[in-house]
Structure 1
Amino acid sequence: MTALNGEDEVVELCRDLIRIDSTNAGDNAGPGERAAAEYVAEKLAEVGLEPQILEPDSRRANVVARIAGEDSSRDALLLHGHLDVVPFHADDWTHHPLSGEIADGCIWGRGAVDMKNMDAMILAVVRQRLSQGRRPPRDIVLAFTADEEAGGTYGAQWLSDKHPDLFEGCTEAIGEVGGFSVSIDDARRLYLIETAEKGIAWMRLTANGRAGHGSMLNAENAVTELAEAVGRIGRYEWPVRLTQTVRTFLTEVSEALNLELDLDDPETTVAKLGPLARMIGATLRNTANPTMLAGGYKVNVIPQTATAHVDGRFLPGYEDEFFETIDELLGPNVAMEFVYHDIAIETGFDGPLVRSMADALVAEDPGALAVPYTLSGGTDLKAFSRLGMRGFGFAPLRLPADLDFSGLFHGVDERVPVDSLQFGVRVLDRFLDGC
């Protein structure tokens, strides 16, 4: 087999994946992931692997493969990435979101950041290593999943529930939304490695009242009851709750930036982090944001019911407090049911795998400082953690200092620098040598 160069391949792999429409609006009516899964499986088969495509439903496809390591008696490592992307409105973009266009040193398109970039990096590294006859120190399981953008019902959750045998021996996992750089100055960069995720509570609120004519008195107006509950939730100021990961992050960042840190007032420190403050600020407390309202069908008819949706996120260790507060804010006449509910997770920033990540970063960027952080959203790691895996977000990218990376997730003009992708290939290759 001809030896492959991952740095050369990763660009075209990323562009190819972006050009495959795998948008997921959460209604199971889109194109699905089958075409992307077939592409990934073909690329893995070309270097001697035997990937499986597993479909829980029509077009909703996952790919799983195992690479035998030099010592298969050791615990295995999972590398996972999702193949679906969120929808887009193409007219809003500078370059079409399915074009994979290269412009201004970046690859543009939906999934360039979330997360076909990491899919491409995994493929490029695996293909390079296997074409060169380089086996990893231990078994590596690869999982390219469906449906992450809608909770993983057809992806990681289904795989964990129905095919846990495919992950036999996996005790650690590496996935998305971590390992990206934040510049301190020209010589130093923080690399944020995800060690925790907030839990998810997507809630539907329903108020029931008495239907009637809009011109008459009505003390049981469902719209009024719902609006008051939504207002209480939306305006509630959740107290600061510092988890271990957030404390470590704030301490490390304050030292690196030479900032005075007052743990009784962490928001002052976070406010000095620029665009990153949006992501980090949401990890200081639980959050609950009303996002949708519905009620009524005619201006002069008081409806019997009204509904709203709220996106709730709770910190590791604070789920009970979150729901106790929500119950108080709802009041007696508004009911809550889950649209989607998933756990919060957290692990320590220590151990051989963490050292391997930090060492690989420093080897490629001597100014790198790896720090842990909490993700305000969620990933497939939640599902894999139920199989006993300790997981991290580590999709390494050295980014330009002026790039608002966190703003590109699910945003317009999503793009990833070509140099950053190639950096990620080098780091992941070193990481696998030391894992």
Structure 2
Amino acid sequence: MALTLPFVAAAQDRPDQKAYFGLYKELVETNTTLSSGSCTQAADQIAARLKAAGYADADVTEFSVPDHPKEGGVVAVLKGSDKKAKPILLLAHLDVVEAKRADWQRDPFKLIEENGYYYGRGSVDDKAMGSIWADAMIRFKTEHYAPKRTIKLALTCGEETTYAFNGADWLAKNKRDLIDAEFVLNEGGGGRLDAQGNRQVLALQVGEKAAQNFTFEVTNPGGHSSQPVPDNAIYQLADALKAVQGYEFPVRFTDTTRAFFSGVAASGTAPAPVSDAIKRLLADPNDKQADAIVSRDKAFHSTLRTTCVATLLSGGHAENALPQRATANVNCRIFPGETVDQTLAKLQELAGPKVKVTANAPIRPVAVPPPLDPKVLGPMRAVAAKHFPGVPILPIMSTGASDGIFFEAIGIPVYGAPGTFIDPDGNGTHGLNERIRVKSLYDSRDYLFDLVKAYAG
């Protein structure tokens, strides 16, 4: 029988861990879905904890906009002693993906400890990092830590839903002074465990793709289904989607992905045919044979190029009528440096003249890959060597998307910090029964706390 302890965590041996668990539990159990939750409530709770730790009102800024009152966030500032040193910004998002109670084995908004895991929506994405950053800011204040470099915290809403109010985007456009920094530490890095819970590799994210949705639409006069004609909106849309399915965007490399694939090829973790194909592809991105071998791995395939895939479909108005309209959503993850307009042009070319292709609002910025800066990556490696000795660390480019893109668009590089180890199945992130290993969470907390201090001086 599974051991279920709703309120007590076995890993809480130290007093500071017990204090952290209270914050983490409160954050996970605060519903922050777009449909029925409130990021503003979560931000209020974090702000109250920061002020109770000793932060002045002037150093804690809560924000929202009138038409999205439940999608607010919070920024906190711990001033450094060296005015010449640019700040660092700790970024995380408060909102979570929708979770239907009927589909989950446990209440998604009750933190449950079971068999060495914490279960709950957001237990990984992104309330693990959000709670760790907030807890670190509280500990810095209560321990009277005096950093040389100013440390900033931004917890925002809207990351998980494209049509929500995005706090990171709003801060970047409206409050540059408040969040200005030399660089940002964000989600997107982490680490991978094997099925037995052994650490395999650490990942530090250096760059990401830009997420963009496009609508494919075909309109037609329609008519009676008893007299079919060649001009059929559903068939024309299907042909366009098949053309997208059959197209491979060209292979591209950034400094990060080149370093990643070079590391994979040299590490011996991939079978010899794959390692050899990676080396060939690094030498010649147009090597189709090598591309086919490497791209058998879906993660490698997406890391090499822009990808577009149909995700939603609608067509017709009656079962006994020819369709007057058929539409589809195509979700693209655009490779750094490539633009929405370039991708739109290619999709329109593939779809043909009878299909209208439009880019859906909001239009995301062009993804800007940050540099492989030794001043940023060096401390990540050095602190990891102490906390996770012997575990290799590789730079990666996220094939997903995060709020980092809004800061990169205004010239602030963003790095996904390593340290949070995840199981091979992804721990239910964005899916059912999201969970994180208890040990992984507390190990990550210790690593990230020391990492921030290494940067701040």
1:364-398, Cα deviation, whole Å (9 max, x unpaired)? 11113221101111111011122321110115224
SS in 1 for 2:131: helix
For residues 403-414 of structure 1, the aligned pairs below 5 Å read 403-404=423-424, 406=426, 408-414=428-434
Of residues 300, 316, 322, the one that matches 1:296 is: 316
Structure-2 change in CA distance of 1:8 and 1:251 (3 Å): farther
The runs of 5 or more residues in structure 1 that have no matched partner are 272-276
324-333 or 151-160, larger mean C-alpha shift: 151-160
Q: How many residues align?
A: 419
**Structure 2 CA distance for aligned equivalents of residues 41 and 291 of structure 1:** 38
**Structure 2 CA distance for aligned equivalents of residues 186 and 21 of structure 1:** 29
1:281 aligns to 2:290 (yes or no): no
What's the offset of the Cα at 1:280?
4.0
Of residues 334, 355, 376, the one that matches 1:353 is: 376
SS in 1 for 2:303: coil
1:323-349, Cα deviation, whole Å (9 max, x unpaired)? 443122110011112224322231222
The corresponding residue for 2:185 is 174
Structure-2 change in CA distance of 1:267 and 1:138 (3 Å): farther
**Structure 1 CA distance for aligned equivalents of residues 418 and 304 of structure 2:** 23
Of residues 44, 51, 64, the one that matches 1:55 is: 64
**Structure 2 CA distance for aligned equivalents of residues 378 and 149 of structure 1:** 10
Report the AA paired with residue 55 of structure 1.
S
The corresponding residue for 2:45 is 39
**Structure 2 CA distance for aligned equivalents of residues 187 and 314 of structure 1:** 33
364-373 or 277-286, larger mean C-alpha shift: 277-286
**Structure 2 CA distance for aligned equivalents of residues 250 and 424 of structure 1:** 25
For residues 187-226 of structure 1, the aligned pairs below 5 Å read 189-226=200-237
The corresponding residue for 2:154 is 143
1:270-311, Cα deviation, whole Å (9 max, x unpaired)? 76xxxxx54443212221110111122211222322211011
SS in 2 for 1:137: coil
SS in 1 for 2:182: strand
The corresponding residue for 2:4 is none
**Structure 2 CA distance for aligned equivalents of residues 284 and 334 of structure 1:** 28
Report the AA paired with residue 346 of structure 2.
T
The corresponding residue for 1:341 is 363
For residues 5-404 of structure 1, the aligned pairs below 5 Å read 5-24=15-34, 29-49=35-55, 50=57, 51-56=60-65, 57-151=68-162, 153-168=165-180, 170-182=181-193, 189-257=200-268, 259=270, 260=272, 261=275, 262-263=277-278, 264=281, 265=290, 268=293, 277-319=297-339, 322-339=343-360, 340-342=362-364, 343-394=366-417, 396-399=419-422, 403-404=423-424
**Structure 1 CA distance for aligned equivalents of residues 396 and 378 of structure 2:** 16
Structure-2 change in CA distance of 1:269 and 1:306 (3 Å): closer
Structure-2 change in CA distance of 1:407 and 1:326 (3 Å): farther
1:147-192, Cα deviation, whole Å (9 max, x unpaired)? 1111363311112122222123x12001112132456999863211
**Structure 1 CA distance for aligned equivalents of residues 148 and 394 of structure 2:** 25
Structure 1 contact 193–370 (Cα < 8 Å) conserved: yes
Report the AA paired with residue 369 of structure 2.
E
Structure-2 change in CA distance of 1:292 and 1:388 (3 Å): same
SS in 2 for 1:84: coil
SS in 2 for 1:150: coil
Report the AA paired with residue 167 of structure 1.
I
**Structure 1 CA distance for aligned equivalents of residues 432 and 292 of structure 2:** 28
The runs of 5 or more residues in structure 2 that have no matched partner are 1-13, 282-289
Q: What CA RMSD, in Å, does the superposition of the two structures yield over aligned residues?
A: 2.4
The corresponding residue for 1:420 is 440
Structure-2 change in CA distance of 1:267 and 1:421 (3 Å): farther
251-260 or 60-69, larger mean C-alpha shift: 251-260
SS in 1 for 2:226: coil
Structure-2 change in CA distance of 1:326 and 1:359 (3 Å): same
Structure 2 contact 421–440 (Cα < 8 Å) conserved: yes
1:17-66, Cα deviation, whole Å (9 max, x unpaired)? 11111112xxxx43231111111111111112231110122211110111
SS in 1 for 2:155: strand
355-364 or 332-341, larger mean C-alpha shift: 332-341
Report the AA paired with residue 123 of structure 1.
A
Structure 2 contact 228–322 (Cα < 8 Å) conserved: no
**Structure 2 CA distance for aligned equivalents of residues 267 and 114 of structure 1:** 32
**Structure 2 CA distance for aligned equivalents of residues 88 and 174 of structure 1:** 27
Structure-2 change in CA distance of 1:101 and 1:267 (3 Å): farther
SS in 2 for 1:134: coil
Report the AA paired with residue 394 of structure 1.
A
Structure-2 change in CA distance of 1:410 and 1:88 (3 Å): same
SS in 1 for 2:160: helix
Report the AA paired with residue 33 of structure 1.
C
Structure 2 contact 28–109 (Cα < 8 Å) conserved: yes
**Structure 1 CA distance for aligned equivalents of residues 382 and 139 of structure 2:** 21
**Structure 2 CA distance for aligned equivalents of residues 186 and 180 of structure 1:** 11
Structure-2 change in CA distance of 1:5 and 1:163 (3 Å): farther
TM-score between both structures, scaled by the size of structure 2: 0.85
297-306 or 53-62, larger mean C-alpha shift: 297-306
TM-score between both structures, scaled by the size of structure 1: 0.89
Structure 2 contact 312–329 (Cα < 8 Å) conserved: yes
What's the offset of the Cα at 1:407?
5.4
Structure-2 change in CA distance of 1:137 and 1:363 (3 Å): farther
